Amino acid sequence: MLHIGCVSTKDESELSEMDSVMIDVFVDVNLINARTELGFGTGDIPFDSILSYHGLSPDEYTDRIEFYSKHPDTYLAVLNEVNNQMAQESRSVSGF
């Protein structure tokens, strides 16, 4: 599993509720992809289903991605939290 460190001047505690939802979406996509690559589960889950599960429409997702393109510090803080959660998942699976 690849862990990429991100540097942000924005504190993760400053993230909005929408950012928290996006973190959950990004984590779920990463976990689904990892399970698929390892031969567990399927990669046939439509992206819109993942968004719907988290209460997002495709337009809301697109709008937020556009927001991140204009606010890279927020995006980096989101990615930092995604990396933190993925590291926790990795530790829980490996037992460390």
Domain boundaries in the chain? 19-94
Chain CA centroid to CA 26, Å: 2
Residues in the chain: 96
pLDDT band at 41 (very low <50, low <70, confident <90, very high): confident
Structure tokens at 6: 């991100």
**pTM as predicted:** 0.80
Q: 36 and 42 in contact (C-beta within 8 Å)?
A: yes
Sorting pLDDT into bands at 50, 70 and 90, what band is 58?
A: very high
